[in-house]
Amino acid sequence: MSLIPKSRWGRRSAFALLGAAVVAGVAVLPAQAQNSIDVVRSEVTGADDKTYWVENNLTPEARQQSADGPRKEYMVVWAGDENVADTAVSDVRNLPGSLADPIDKVRDALPGPDFMAVVDATKGSPDYGKVVNTATVGPLVENEPHHMQYSWRKGDKIYAGGLYSAATYVFDVTALPELKLSGISLPSQTLCGSVPDAYWVLNDGTAYGTYMGGPVAPGPCRYTHGEVRTGNGFAGSPGSVVRLGEDGENLVEAPAATETPEDPTQCLNMPALGNPTCANPHGIQVREDLDTMVTSDYAEPRSIILDPVKNPSPYLRRPTVRTWDISDLNHPKVKSVAYLPTGPRSNGQDPLRNENRAAMETTVTNRPENKGAFAQTMQGGAIFYTPDITVENPEWREVFDLGTVAPEFGVGGENGGPSANGGWLQTSPDDRTLYHATIGRKAGTLGPDDKGTAGGVVALDIEKLVGAGTGTTCSIDTEEEITAGGAEPDCPTVRSSVGINPDETGAGPHWGALDNLDLGEDGFYRETDQPQRLATANYFVARTGLDGDHRVCMVDIARDGALTLDETFVDEDTGETCINFNRENWPHGAFGNAKPHSMLFVAADEDIKD
C-alpha cells in the first residue's frame, strides 16, 4: 500500500501538509528551547520581616556553561524594567488604543521586575553576548537600578542600589551564572539618608555606600555616633555614607554634612535648610591603605517644578568633593570639603555649565606610592585632580576639559565641555590611564546654533600627572587649554578615544567598567592590572531626560592603549554590535525594554585563582 495518495489533489494536500509540518518544526523547536528556563529563587527576610527575593531565570546556555566547556566570564548588568514613566511623551500619547502594538505599550507602561542580567562575556565563546540569566528582584518594583561597586574581586558580594526604592541589594555571585540574595537594606534601616548611589567594597567584604538624598523623614536626624543634622527629607539634603554588612545590615551611618553651614551661594537646598549643605554624595572611592575615602557631591536628587518654564537652579548641582578619615572603618568622618574651582569657561552667565558644576564621580589612584585622586563634573565637562588626598585640605585643579576630546567622539564637537554629561571615571589599576565615559550634549542645548557633541570613552594618559606627585603644575586656566589641552608638561593627554553612537549627539554612555579579570593559560581567571577591555552602558536616568538607547557595548583596549569597539559583541536577537536592552523577551518573560545602568565583570569563585 502506497503512502502517497493516488489522486492529484490528495498528493498536493499531502505535500502541503508536509510543508506546513516542516515550517512548524523549524519554528517551534527553537521556541521550545527558548521556553526551557530554569527558575531558581533565593530569599531573605528583610528588616521589616517581609520576604525579599532574587529569582534566577537560567537559560539552557547557562546550564551548558555550568556543565562543561571553557570557564566562563560574565558581565552582570543591573537593569530596571522600563515603564511609562520612562517613555517619551509621544509614546505615552499613543498608549491606549493605538495600532502600534498597544498591548506592548500597556505592558511597558506597567512595572515589571527589575533584574540583574547575567551576560556571557567570554570572548570567543559561541554564547558571547547572550543573556544567560536574568535574576529578577522582588517584591519591590520601580527600584530604578543604579550603581554597584566600581569593580569586583573574587569573594566580593555585589552591592546594588535602587534610586527610587532607597534599597540596597546584596548579591552573592559565587555560583555564577546563578545569583543568590545575601541581604537587603531597606530605607527604614538608613533613616539619615536616601537615594543610594554607589558602593565601594572594603577588604573585609563590607561596603561603604553613598546615600545621595536626605533623611527619609524631614527634620533632625541622629546618625550612628550621635551626630545630628537637620535635613529636608527624602531625596533632599544632606545625604550620608553608610557602611553595609554582607547581609545588608547597616553597620554605621555617617553624616556627609559638616556641623557648620556650607557655602549658601553654592549650596541651594529645597526646602531651604538652616545649615545650607552641598552634601549629596554620589561617587565614592576608597584607599584603605591611606585611611582615606573620597566622595563627590552631585545634586540634591529631587526636583519639584514650581515653575515649568524656568530651569531648576544650577545651584542644586554640587561643586564639592569630600575626603573622609576612615582610620576607624566604623566611624568615617568628613575631613575636608573642597569646592572645585571654576575654569576659563566660567563667565558668570551660565553657572549651570561652569567647569565645576555637578561633581558626579571621583576615582582614586591605586598604587601605594600615589595618593592622588580625580573628580569629574557632569554639567561642567571637566576633570579635576588633587595629588594628595591625605592632607587636611586637598587642593583640586582642573586638569582636562572635555572640549579637548569632544571632536574625536563623532558629530558636532564644538565647545564640547559644557553639559558634556560625563559620568564614569576610573583610573587603571597601574595608574597610567584615566578612563572617562561621556554622554555628550544634544544639539541645541546651548541655543539654536549649538550642534551638540557625540559621546564615547576617552583614555587619558596620566602617567606624568600622577608621577609628578605633589609637584604637579597642570592647571587648565586659559581659553586655549580648553580645546588644546593643558599647556603644562604634566597635563593629561588623550591616549585614545572611541565614540559610542558617533553619529548622534548626546547618545553616548553614562557608565563603564573595566574588565579586571584575565584568562590564564591554565584556564583560570586572575585579577590583572592591565585590563584589555571595558564595557559601557548607554543609560542614565530616564526621568531626567537622559534615557539613552539602552545598549551595552564592549570596547577593546590594545596594548598601546588604543580603544576600539568590539564588533564581535553582538546582540543575540538583532545581530548588531552591542547588546540591546530594548528587547521584547527576557528569560523571565516578555517584559519589554529595560534600562541598564551599571555593570561588572565577574566569574564564579571556583574559576578564579588568586
Residues 30-89 that bind another protein (CB under 8 A): 31-32, 34-35, 48, 83-89
How far apart (Å, rounded) are the C-alpha atoms in residues 29 and 33?
6
Give me the 151-190 binding string for another protein, x by CB under 8 A, dash otherwise.
Answer: ------------xxxxx------------------xxx--
Residue (283 or 372) nearer to another protein, CB = 283
Cell 546582540 belongs to 571
Cell 564640547 belongs to 416
Residue (219 or 368) nearer to another protein, CB = 219
Check binding of 8 to another protein (CB under 8 A): yes
Q: Which stretch binds another protein (CB under 8 A): 70-78, 270-278, 329-337, 492-500?
A: 270-278
- Contact indicator for 395, 323 with CB cutoff of 8 Å: no
Residue (69 or 545) nearer to another protein, CB = 545
Min. distance of Cβ 562 from another protein in angstroms?
Answer: 32
How far apart (Å, rounded) are the C-alpha atoms in residues 305 and 543?
13
Check binding of 449 to another protein (CB under 8 A): no
Q: Which stretch binds another protein (CB under 8 A): 216-224, 403-411, 507-515, 528-536?
A: 216-224
Check binding of 119 to another protein (CB under 8 A): no
Q: Which of 120, 127, 142, 178 binds another protein (CB under 8 A)?
A: 142
Check binding of 4 to another protein (CB under 8 A): no
Min. distance of Cβ 470 from another protein in angstroms?
Answer: 35
417, 321, 533, 381: CA torsion to nearest 10:
0
Residue (192 or 554) nearer to another protein, CB = 192
How far apart (Å, rounded) are the C-alpha atoms in residues 280 and 235?
9
Cell 558580594 belongs to 157
- Contact indicator for 358, 340 with CB cutoff of 8 Å: no
Check binding of 261 to another protein (CB under 8 A): no
How far apart (Å, rounded) are the C-alpha atoms in residues 304 and 281?
20
Residue (355 or 547) nearer to another protein, CB = 547
Min. distance of Cβ 350 from another protein in angstroms?
Answer: 10
Q: Which of 102, 344, 469, 561 binds another protein (CB under 8 A)?
A: 102
Give me the 387-426 binding string for another protein, x by CB under 8 A, dash otherwise.
Answer: --------------------------------x-------
Q: Which of 152, 424, 569, 591 binds another protein (CB under 8 A)?
A: 591
Check binding of 28 to another protein (CB under 8 A): yes
Min. distance of Cβ 284 from another protein in angstroms?
Answer: 17
- Contact indicator for 423, 360 with CB cutoff of 8 Å: yes
71: DSSP letter: P
Length of the chain: 610
Q: Which stretch binds another protein (CB under 8 A): 271-279, 320-328, 409-417, 470-478?
A: 271-279
Check binding of 93 to another protein (CB under 8 A): yes
How far apart (Å, rounded) are the C-alpha atoms in residues 169 and 137?
9
Q: Which of 213, 403, 410, 422 binds another protein (CB under 8 A)?
A: 213
Residue (558 or 590) nearer to another protein, CB = 590
Number of residues that bind another protein (CB under 8 A): 120
Min. distance of Cβ 448 from another protein in angstroms?
Answer: 9
Q: Which stretch binds another protein (CB under 8 A): 203-211, 243-251, 256-264, 588-596?
A: 588-596
Beta strands in 406-450 (DSSP E): 422-427, 433-438
Q: Which of the residues 457 through 496 are near another protein (CB under 8 A)? A: none
Min. distance of Cβ 7 from another protein in angstroms?
Answer: 5
Q: Which of 27, 39, 484, 562 binds another protein (CB under 8 A)?
A: 27
122 contact partners, CB below 8 Å, separation of at least 6? 70, 71, 72, 73, 74, 128
User: Residue 80 CB: number of other CB atoms within 10 A?
Assistant: 29
The 3-class SS string of 324-347 reads: EECCCCCCCEEEEEEECCCCCCCC
| Environment class of 215 (CB within 10 Å of its CB; exposed 0-12, middle 13-18, buried 19+) | buried
Min. distance of Cβ 38 from another protein in angstroms?
Answer: 17
Residue (372 or 381) nearer to another protein, CB = 381
How far apart (Å, rounded) are the C-alpha atoms in residues 216 and 195?
9
Residue (307 or 503) nearer to another protein, CB = 307
Min. distance of Cβ 330 from another protein in angstroms?
Answer: 23
Min. distance of Cβ 394 from another protein in angstroms?
Answer: 26
Q: Which of 10, 126, 205, 489 binds another protein (CB under 8 A)?
A: 10
Q: ω before 281 within 30° of 0 (cis)?
A: no
In terms of DSSP bridges, do strands 207-213 and 240-244 run parallel, antiparallel, or are they unpaired?
antiparallel
Burial 420-450 (b: 16+ CB within 10 A, else e): bbbbbbbbbbebbbbbbbbbbbbbebbeeeb
Residue (112 or 183) nearer to another protein, CB = 112
Q: Which of the residues 220 through 249 are near another protein (CB under 8 A)? A: 220, 230, 232-236
Min. distance of Cβ 294 from another protein in angstroms?
Answer: 21
578 contact partners, CB below 8 Å, separation of at least 6? 551, 552, 553, 554, 565, 569, 570, 571
412 contact partners, CB below 8 Å, separation of at least 6? 406, 440, 441, 443, 451, 452, 453, 454, 505
DSSP string, 444-476: TTTSTT---B-EEEEEEE-HHHHHTGGG-----
Q: Which of the residues 314 through 343 are near another protein (CB under 8 A)? A: 314, 316-317
Residue (114 or 490) nearer to another protein, CB = 114
Check binding of 137 to another protein (CB under 8 A): no
Residue (23 or 562) nearer to another protein, CB = 23
Min. distance of Cβ 165 from another protein in angstroms?
Answer: 6
